[in-house]
Amino acid sequence: MTGPASRPPAAPFARTVWMVLRKDLTVEMRSGEIAYTTLVFAASCVLIFAFALVREGRAPEGGAAGILWIAILFASTLALGRAFERERQAETLRALLLAPVPRPAIYVGKLLGIVALVVATEAVLLPLVDFLFTARLFAHPFWLAGIVVTCTVGLASVGTLFAAMLVRARSRDMLLPVLLYPIVVPVIIAGVQGTAALLQPAFDAAVVRFWLLLLVTFDVVFVVLALWTFEAVMSD
C-alpha cells in the first residue's frame, strides 16, 4: 500500500536537524578527514600569501582581511565538495532523502555541520593571520565573532545547497566553485569590508554595524531561498 496514510509519521524538524548534524559531526570526529585537510589547506594558502606579500615584517594595508576570506572561501569549497562526496560514495544522501523527515531539516542539519567545520578552521586561521600579518584582529572580539559567523553562514548556506545539488552532476568538482563564487561574492565582499573596518586604527562601530547588518540580510535571503530550492531540487 502506498500513499501518505501508510507512511510513518514524520520526525519533528528540530530532532531531524540534530540527528543529521550529530551524524556528520560523529563521522568527522572519528575520521577527522575534512577538518584536517581543510585546515592544512587554509593554512598553506595563508602562508603562501604571507611569503608573497609580507615585506620586512609589514603586510600591505588592508591585505589581511582579504587574505583571510580568500583562504576561508577556498577551504570551504574543499570541505563542501568532500562532505557531499562522502555522502555520494556511500549512497547515504539518497537514504537521507528517502527518510520520512522534512527535507528542509536535512538541509539545515547539513548546513550546521558545514558551518561547524568552517568555524573550527577559522578558529585556527584567525590567530595565524593575526600573527603573520600583524593585523590586530582580536582588538574587537565580539564584532569579529559577529562578522565571522554571519559571513560563514552566508557562504555555507549557498555552498551546502549547490554541493548537494551537484552530487549527481558530471564534473561536480569543477562546477562547484564556478556556481558558488559568483553568488557568494557579495557575502565575501561584505565580510572583507567588515573585517577591514575592524582593523582600522580609528575604529568606527557604525561602519562595522552596517556590514554586519548587510551580512545578516544576505544570510536571511540565502537561507530562505536555499530552503525552498533544496525541497524543489532534491525531489527526484
Residues in the site for another protein, rule: CB under 8 A?
158, 161-162, 165-166, 168-171, 174-175, 178-179, 181-183, 185-186, 189, 221-222, 225, 229, 232-233, 236
- Cβ–Cβ < 8 Å for 160, 183: no
- Cβ–Cβ < 8 Å for 206, 145: no
At position 197, the amino acid (one-letter code) is A
Grid coordinates given for 100: 520520512
What SS3 class is residue 55?
strand
Nearer to another protein, 37 or 229 (CB): 229
Instruction: Please report how close the Cβ of residue 232 comes to another protein at its closest, in angstroms.
Output: 4
Instruction: Please report how close the Cβ of residue 162 comes to another protein at its closest, in angstroms.
Output: 7
DSSP state at residue 166: G
Residue 200: left if φ>0, alpha if ψ -120 to 50, beta else—which one? beta
Nearer to another protein, 40 or 224 (CB): 224
Nearer to another protein, 95 or 178 (CB): 178
* Chain position carrying cell 557579495: 186
Instruction: Please report how close the Cβ of residue 170 comes to another protein at its closest, in angstroms.
Output: 3
Instruction: Please report how close the Cβ of residue 59 comes to another protein at its closest, in angstroms.
Output: 20
User: Which alpha helices (DSSP H) does the chain contain, by range?
Assistant: 13-31, 33-53, 63-89, 92-98, 103-132, 141-165, 172-199, 205-233
Instruction: Please report how close the Cβ of residue 112 comes to another protein at its closest, in angstroms.
Output: 20
Whole-angstrom distance between the N-terminal and C-terminal Cα of the chain? 21
Nearer to another protein, 166 or 196 (CB): 166
Nearer to another protein, 30 or 170 (CB): 170
Instruction: Please report how close the Cβ of residue 83 comes to another protein at its closest, in angstroms.
Output: 18
CA angle 218, 162, 220 (to 5 degrees): 20
Nearer to another protein, 50 or 176 (CB): 176
